[in-house]
Amino acid sequence: MQSVARPYGQRPFPLPKFVSIHSVSFLIQNALLITANANDDIYHGDLLIEGSHIREIGKVSRPAVRTLDATGMWALPGFVQTHVHLCQTLFRGLADDLELLDWLQRRIWPLEAAHNAASLYWSARLGIAELLKGGTTTVLSMETVRHTEEAFRAIEETGIRAVAGKCIMDVGDAPAPLQEESGSALEESLALLRQWNGRADGRIRYAFAPRFALSCSREIMEEIGRTAKKSQTLVHTHASENKKEVELVRQQTGQANVEYFRSIGLTAPNLFLAHCIWLNDREISILRETETRVTHCPSSNLKLASGIADITRYKKEGLVLSLGADGAACNNNLDMFQEMKFAALLQKILHGPTALPARDVFRLATIEGAQALHCEGEIGSLEAGKRADIVIFDPRDATLWPNHDVYSTLVYAGRPQNVRYVFVNGQLLVERGRLACQEEEEVLRKSEEALTELLPRAERLGFR
């Protein structure tokens, strides 16, 4: 399988100001280890974190600076979400009960167009806080057209692992602040790539993010494909989410979404397509042949009434799959436990009760998400030598008891409230269910202030 190379230009950076250094050496003892390794091993043992990596797993006798007795708790790999919009977290509850294209034109585009640097920063900070508290340690995020550097600043400061990119929109009828000339859109994207790709010890990576076929000219899509291959960078876009969208793409291009992307040289192992609900047989074959990635977002698809992606068929066809919550404006949360549960339940409606069992869904949320991002050698499972992206989950709760099967408990009953500790790159970011390196009250206050100032701007730009 072709693999995207490691980001170039990596160099050490100082620890961000919000990140603790307590986990330079951290011993987690007596946990039930749900490894998500090749054998799906589950056993009681210890984890030794040194610096940013898991140094030992199993029975560890070496001392550490800090020790956590995890007796009765479970250690699992951090969740990997491959489609979110940090820029939309402020818009939770402002775009309900609409289908996709109305949702975009009447609510999301005016709201995104109203972002300034401060509101984008606090939207990202709020989204990251929710993600970390829910056990998500890695995201692939599409931002909006302007102020993407503020999202990267939030990512760097808060310690989450992320692949993110500036949204590109060079055609269509979006509000003026979301319209841009093709050349300047690419120039800004390349500047962000140079500035952010590989920063923070490789924890931050860049992805080109053309919004979808209806918002991007053929010329810019072709150039993104060429540039991404040359720079070995991911491309993150939407496809075949909504029937009307599919019809409009066919009217404009003469082809279905994936067929169009294939014709312009975009389908490849570095391309992520969010949703992919309405695919024809030829498109499924193209995705398999080109190893193009598909991100399933079940809650968003339900709330926007977009449809149900046939993930069971896609798995049988050999497509590369992963999960994402989408945005807080269409979900309305960033909860991977919810996405796992809905992913499983929806396939049972389509194919019967044995379709997509809990263990398979858990792998989609962990190691297979890492594989989709071409970083399974670093994250996605609990193994010595991998990055220390670890979640400590406490199942000792009346809503989860008894725990006959770990995968059943996590997928069908798990909740963010049961996440007790979260490490990313060896840094302790959630401790006893609270953000360890951020002031949550400040995030809530500042994000509310930013939204209060944003809404009048959005109304002037057509929000209704």
pLDDT digits (tens, 9 = 90+) for 161-193: 999 999 999 999 999 999 999 999 999 999 999
Distances (CA, A) of 196 to 13, 384, 425: 11, 28, 17
The reported pLDDT for the residue numbered 14 is: 33
With a threshold of 0.85, does the pTM exceed it? yes
pLDDT at residue 448 greater than cutoff 60: yes
4 compared with 180, residue with greater pLDDT? 180
pLDDT at residue 389 greater than cutoff 70: yes
Tell me how far apart the alpha carbons of residues 311 and 69 are, in angstroms, rounded to a whole number: 39
pLDDT at residue 1 greater than cutoff 90: no
Mean pLDDT along residues 100-106 = 96
pLDDT at residue 23 greater than cutoff 50: no
List the beta bridge partners of residue 162. 139, 204
pLDDT at residue 323 greater than cutoff 80: yes
Residue indicated by tokens 């310690």: 159
The reported pLDDT for the residue numbered 464 is: 86
Mean pLDDT along residues 229-237 = 96
Q: Are 208 and 233 in contact (CB under 8 A)?
A: yes
Give pLDDT tens digits for 253-296. Answer: 999 999 999 999 999 999 999 999 999 999 999 999 999 999 99
Give pLDDT tens digits for 367-379. Answer: 999 999 999 999 9
Tell me how far apart the alpha carbons of residues 208 and 227 are, in angstroms, rounded to a whole number: 9
Share of the chain above pLDDT 90, in %: 93
* Cα–chain center distance at 381: 17
Mean pLDDT along residues 28-55 = 98
Give pLDDT tens digits for 328-348. Answer: 999 999 999 999 999 999 999
Mean pLDDT along residues 108-117 = 98
Tell me how far apart the alpha carbons of residues 373 and 375 are, in angstroms, rounded to a whole number: 5
Mean pLDDT along residues 90-107 = 96
Which contiguous run of DSSP H or E holds residue 320? strand 320-323
The reported pLDDT for the residue numbered 168 is: 98
Under 8 Å CB-to-CB from 60, ≥6 apart: which residues? Answer: 27, 29, 45, 46, 47, 48
The reported pLDDT for the residue numbered 223 is: 97
Tell me how far apart the alpha carbons of residues 397 and 403 are, in angstroms, rounded to a whole number: 10
Mean pLDDT along residues 70-96 = 98
Tell me how far apart the alpha carbons of residues 385 and 402 are, in angstroms, rounded to a whole number: 33
pLDDT at residue 353 greater than cutoff 70: yes
Tell me how far apart the alpha carbons of residues 287 and 296 are, in angstroms, rounded to a whole number: 14
pLDDT at residue 103 greater than cutoff 50: yes
pLDDT at residue 15 greater than cutoff 50: no
Tell me how far apart the alpha carbons of residues 192 and 200 are, in angstroms, rounded to a whole number: 15
Q: Are 150 and 127 in contact (CB under 8 A)?
A: no
pLDDT at residue 129 greater than cutoff 50: yes
Which contiguous run of DSSP H or E holds residue 74? strand 74-77
Query: Within 13 A of 164's CA, how many CA atoms are on the CB side?
Result: 32
- 421 residue type, one letter: Y
pLDDT at residue 13 greater than cutoff 90: no
SS (H, E, C) 32-59: EEECCCCCCCEEEEEEEEECCEEEEEEC
Q: Residue 351 corresponds to which tokens in the numbers above?
A: 């194919």
The reported pLDDT for the residue numbered 437 is: 83
Nearest to 4 by CA among 148, 163, 195, 237: 163
Share of the chain above pLDDT 70, in %: 95
Query: Within 13 A of 79's CA, how many CA atoms are on the CB side?
Result: 34
For the chain, the farthest-separated pair of C-alpha atoms sits apart, in whole angstroms, at 65
The reported pLDDT for the residue numbered 68 is: 96
Instruction: Report the relative pairing of strands 167-168 and 204-210 from DSSP bridges.
Output: parallel
Q: 380 in the Ramachandran plot: left (φ > 0), alpha (ψ -120 to 50) or beta?
A: left
Residue indicated by tokens 């990267």: 152
Q: Residue 104 corresponds to which tokens in the numbers above?
A: 């975009």
- Mean pLDDT for the chain? 94
Mark 178-190 as b/e (b = at least 16 C-beta within 10 Å): bbbebeebbebbe
Residue indicated by tokens 């590369």: 320
Q: What's the full length of the chain, in residues?
A: 464
Under 8 Å CB-to-CB from 285, ≥6 apart: which residues? Answer: 317
Mark 361-380 as b/e (b = at least 16 C-beta within 10 Å): bbbbbbbbbbbbbbbbebbb
Q: Report residue 4's pLDDT band, with 50, 70 and 90 as the boundaries.
A: very low
Q: Report residue 438's pLDDT band, with 50, 70 and 90 as the boundaries.
A: confident
Instruction: Kindly report whether the peptide bond that precedes residue 402 is cis, defined as omega within 30 degrees of 0.
Output: yes
Nearest to 82 by CA among 135, 132, 140, 161: 140
pLDDT at residue 219 greater than cutoff 70: yes
